[in-house]
Structure 1
Amino acid sequence: MRKVLIVEDDKFLAAIFSLFIKDLGHLLVGRCQTGAQALEMCQSEKPDVVLMDIHLEGELDGIETAERIQRDFEIPVIFVTSDTSSQVVERAIVANSYGYLVKPVQKNELSITIDLAYYKHKAVIDQKRREQSFRRYLAEAPVAVIIVHDGRIQYLNMNALDLFHTHYIEDMIGLPLVDFVDDCSKGAFNEFISNNAGTGRVAERHDIVFMGLHKKPLDVAITGSWIEFNGKQALQIVMMDITPEKSAIRDCEKLRYALFMGGKGVMILDQNLKVSGVTPGFKSLIRLEQGSDIKDLNMDERLLMSLLNGNFEEQQETTITYLNKNYKCMVFAIGQTQKKTRELIVKIVE
């Protein structure tokens, strides 16, 4: 049984439709003659289906009323009219009606149209709710998610915006995602995009270097799956910031290089430029103990602080002056600036 509202300014036809509705086992929740009355009754009676004449008295015609009913109350509307002019039919189509019955209407025809409208609308609403739940899940997901169609960004959640250092979705929406990929990773990224194109989950994780909005490199691990988004096949990409992981690997390589690849000794300085470690070779040249400061070494503290603050990623050359003797050094930073784990490796090379 469906709850049906009839909007018809012809009292005789309204009476006939009322009899049809009752004979078909549906509940007639009301009859009215104007668009304004129809809006009021939709709000109060909440019908399942509305039968709508197109040519109504008052400020709103049937098509305008139907558009407002579907927008404000999400109720399907079936047009019932004797007007088959192309202009009116086109307006009805644009209004997303759920049926267009031409008077005179037969009872079995009305029955079928009501059931079709009800179930079609129910399917549309269910799909809409699922999409809303999906979008809510994406928005609240604890990882960065970007959805791409034909290579262009269609959606990204807040974690993805944070990853790329922006608060505004407009900065990235509609742009090719490859524009944010560093040149060194474009081959791997194109391989990822083409991997199992359109066939479910993209199996392999790829480590990609992206460029944020501030043009700083981002080490990111990506996986993905092909989904339907806004009625189109799209690639959903899950992104995980692996900058700490990659940074740790690079730091190990730097430390290995400092300790084992030539040089006469190594000193490690902490965030406060205190000595946190020295090798025997360094100690044999410059007698510093752990916990000492570098005031007596006459080093370029401005350069050291710039390295600690992340202003330089490459190693820098400087000099230690100790007991009137100069020692040429290479200095490079390890650790993460934002987590205050940055340290300096000072390697005497001459």
Structure 2
Amino acid sequence: MQVENMQKRKKILLVEDSRLTAMVVAEFLNKNGYETETAITGEEAVQKISGGFPPDLVLMDIELAGEMDGIDAARRIMKSRDIPVVFLTANTSGKIIDKIKEVKAYGFVLKDTDKAALLSTVEMALKLHEANTHARMFERLFENSLNELYIFHPKSLKFVAVNRAARKNLGYTIEELNTMTPLDLKPELDLQSFRELLVPLVSGEQEQVLFKTVHRRKDGSLYPVEINLQLFDYGGEKLCMALVANLTEIKQLEEEKRRKEELCRLMLQGIPSPAWLVSRERRILAQNKAAASLFGSKVGDYCWERVLGGGNLPDEYREAFEKNGSPLPGTKCYFCRGDEALDRNEPINSEVELAGNIWDTWWIPLGEDVYLHYATDVTKHKRMEKELRCLSVTDCLTNCYNRRFFMQKLEEEIERAKRNGNKFSLIMLDIDRFKSINDRFGHNVGDLVLKSMAEMIKNRIRKIDTLARWGGEEFVLLLPDTPVENAARLAEELRESLSRMDIQGVGRVTASFGVAGYCPGDSVDSLVNKADNMMYEAKAAGRNCVRYMNQCE
């Protein structure tokens, strides 16, 4: 069953006064999954956003036509909307960088930079903005939580933050609490006894300390509380968090817990990828539609029941399970990653292959005994990465390497020969009368000739050899550790094999070959020119033959 992709395309407002640059960048972003809108002036960009076009990111040229430059436009936009801005610039002077910092942009990209770098910067800016949004959200969650929450220094005991619920119940203002410590609220504890409570946390012996006491409000009234103390790291500094439960309001807390669980389930349904809430016992507590559709799991199932019943487990984790769900000794345990996340109290991420797809999997602890497990299908993204790497070094028609990659390999081989004195050779070949093939039979047949010849050569040469399409119907072959005489024999063999090939739609095809060996002092250009000259000698000698230079002058 196909699961509908509920992820929306991210919207980017591209502000660039060069229509050509805007067209090229917009086309590239659109091809990579974004929805791009363009503006040519800062005024137009501000108007679009205020007029109802809410982009997820603004890609802004600094130097724009009109009265408003990119910096001013960014200020206007960021003043009214929480939208990340990434600048496009050809100027990286200190003055420009200071202006970029001043408006708190999400970075900048040099014009004419590598497209992969542009894409990476856009993706990172979106992720950073998302992270900032989440940080603000968690700040709001802390402040607006119905539970009393306190953060204080474990050494000085001074409060760092106290949320609204605590302030309201205690009757103290933020300013008053900033001068206080937890001891001011706990009449049953003195300094020594309270520090003794903190010892297991500070030493790392325990992750949390639970105890019951009473709190004293500003008006002197007391109320019973249960306190959960935890130590966490914030910016390299250890802080204590106190989660305080008012024991006189147990029913309210139970209702709040129910509401949070319902919210969690609602949030689960909003995740487009398969997602489960799982207990430490590996029982599925909740799941979304994608999980049920793709894996057939059910709420109440134990995870290993799905494994034993349907085999839904990556090959590298396919283990035999006992009936209680524990792995046999010496086997890997896929679902133990959830236990690990709970024990370490931190998310765990890994990439696995399942049924031909690549999944980015996460185990995220949501307390002591429950974790969120979700898996995102990243197959398309991974394939795109692979294709982009391939496209950067290969010729799309013949799947040979391209000229740029070949030049790099040739430079490396020359440097290796300089260091080690190795011999190597170059073969350059050109299909005879290729233009007439295109003219007579059409370009599709011409393409077939190129692909057929390239495939024949690739099947003959070694793994260490490099075949590249030089341009048009010309190809070049780099042969490491090969004297020119051996290269000439290979060229003759390839020439003969090609002349015997019967290519559908065109019949017999021939090529002219030029061979040159590396001589001390040769550069990339001089060696290529030698092979090229030999190839043209073969052309002049009547085509369908091999010519080579057998000595260094």
TM-score using structure 1 length: 0.54
* Corresponding residue to 1:191 among 193, 196, 216: 196
CA 1:229/1:39 → structure 2, altered by over 3 Å: closer, same or farther? farther
In structure 2, relative to structure 1, the CA distance for the partners of 1:47 and 1:186 (3 Å cut) is same
CA change 1:61–1:16 in 2 (3 A) is same
* Mapped pair 1:152 → 2:155: no
Contact kept? 1:55, 1:62, Cα under 8 Å: yes
Higher helix share goes to which structure?
2
Deviation at 1:79, TM superposition (A): 0.8
Counterpart contact for 1:185–1:209, Cα < 8 Å: no
Deviation digits for residues 18-46 of structure 1, max 9, x if unmatched?
Answer: 34334545322232311x43233234222
Q: What is the percentage of aligned positions where both structures have the same residue?
A: 23
Partner of 1:28: 36
For residue 242 of structure 1, report the CA deviation from its aligned partner.
Answer: 8.7
Counterpart CA distance in 1 for 2:161 and 2:170 is 14
Q: What is the CA–CA distance in structure 1 between the aligned matches of 2:41 and 2:97, rounded to whole Å?
A: 21
2:49 corresponds, among 42, 45, 63, to 42
Question: Could you tell me which amino acid in structure 2 is paired with residue 38 of structure 1?
Answer: A
State the Cα distance separating 1:81 from its structure 2 match. 0.6
SS in structure 2 at match of 1:145: strand
Aligned to 1:288: none
Partner of 1:53: 61
What is the CA–CA distance in structure 2 between the aligned matches of 1:134 and 1:194, rounded to whole Å? 25
The aligned residue for residue 86 of structure 1 is 94
Query: Which residue in the other structure is 1:66 paired with?
Result: 74
Aligned to 1:306: none
Aligned to 1:327: none
Question: Structure 1 residue 51: deviation in Å?
Answer: 0.9
When the two structures are aligned, how many residues end up with a matched partner?
235
Is the 8 Å Cα contact of residues 147 and 237 (structure 1) preserved in structure 2? yes
Gaps of 5+ in 2: 1-8, 249-553
Change (3 A) 1:201 1:30: same
Given that residues 224 and 235 in structure 1 are in contact (C-alpha distance below 8 angstroms), is that contact kept between their aligned partners in structure 2? no
Give the deviation of 1:74 after TM superposition.
Answer: 2.6
- Please list, as runs of the form range in 1=range in 2, the aligned pairs for 1:162-177 lying within 5 A after superposition: 162-166=168-172, 168-173=173-178, 175-177=180-182
- Per the TM alignment, residue 63 of structure 1 is displaced from its structure 2 partner at its CA by 3.0
Over 3 Å counting, the alpha-carbon distance change for 1:124 and 1:228 in structure 2 is farther
| Aligned amino acid, residue 41 of structure 1 | K
Matched-pair contact (CA < 8 Å) for 2:89–2:111: yes
* Partner Cα distance (2:30, 2:165) in 1: 55
8 Å Cα contact 2:186/2:213 also seen in 1: no
Q: Which runs of 4+ in 1 moved over 6 A?
A: 240-243
How much does 1:15 deviate? 3.6
Which letter maps to 2:121? T
Native 8 Å contact 2:226 2:247 kept in 1: no
Name the stretch that deviates more: 228-237 or 81-90.
228-237
Write 1 or 2 for the structure with the bigger share of strand. Answer: 1
Decide whether aligned partners of structure 1 residues 193 and 203 sit closer, same or farther in structure 2, where only a CA change above 3 A counts. closer
* Cα distance in structure 1, aligned partners of 2:29 and 2:246: 61
Of 88, 103, 112 in structure 2, the residue corresponding to residue 104 of structure 1 is 112
Distance in structure 2 (CA, Å) of the matches to 1:72 and 1:79: 18
Render the CA deviation track for 1:29-82: whole Å, top value 9, x for unaligned.
232311x43233234222222111123455654234334534543322211011
1:223 maps to 2:227: yes
Q: 1:230 to 1:32 in 2, by over 3 A?
A: farther
How far 1:233 moved relative to its partner?
4.4
Higher relative contact order (CA 8 A, sep 6+): 1
**Equivalent residue number for residue 333 of structure 1:** none
Alignment of 1:234 with 2:271, yes or no, is: no
> Does structure 2 retain, via aligned residues, the 8 Å contact 1:29–1:45?
no
Distance 1:230 1:63, change over 3 A: farther
Letter aligned with residue 14 of structure 2: I
> 1:314-329, aligned counterparts within 5 Å?
none
Equivalent residues of 1:33, 1:56 under 8 A apart: yes
Deviations 1:256-300 (A, max 9, x none): xxxxxxxxxxxxxxxxxxxxxxxxxxxxxxxxxxxxxxxxxxxxx
